[in-house]
Amino acid sequence: MVIVTKLLPTGPPLAAKRYKLNSLQFPFVFEITSADLLFPYTEEAWLKSTNSKDTVAMTAIISTSPLLGKPADTERAGFGISEPITFAGVLTRTGGQLSVQDKVDMSLYSKEDLALLDSVDKALAEREAVTAAP
């Protein structure tokens, strides 16, 4: 399972996190943090970015395929929104609730969509390799 956040209305993925399906119990609660940012974002770059103060759409993809760029025909997807709010002078975000239920129509993925998903796969693999290194 991979969670991808994407700036609305367009833009590259901002952050992603991978979970193994066999380790999950539903309903599943997760959190995306600065540790999950994808290149070119670092925590500092994210905080300085106007994107950090904008609405963020989240996409959850549940797939039996290990790679987003090579989707399985059993894939399911869900979507949610996180809004920026200021509370006591501090910018924070609303939690975004996702409901995953729809089967993905594989014919709706364009070449650009698959390239984007492939780039998320590569970024996650690089991060996992760094994390696993001694």
Across residues 51-61, what is the average pLDDT?
82
What is residue 59's DSSP assignment? E
Using one digit for the tens of pLDDT, what is the confidence trace for 97-119? 777 776 777 677 788 888 888 88
Contacts of 50 (CB under 8 A, 6+ apart): none
Residue type at 22 in one-letter notation: N
Arithmetic mean of pLDDT over the chain: 80
Do residues 7 and 54 make contact, with C-beta atoms less than 8 angstroms apart? yes
- Give 10-33 pLDDT, tens digit per residue: 667 888 888 888 888 877 888 888
pLDDT of residue 46 exceeding 80:
yes
| Residue 77 confidence (pLDDT) | 82
Distance, CA of 75 to CA of 65 (rounded, Å):
8
Residue 50 is classified by DSSP as G
Residue spans per domain, the chain:
2-132
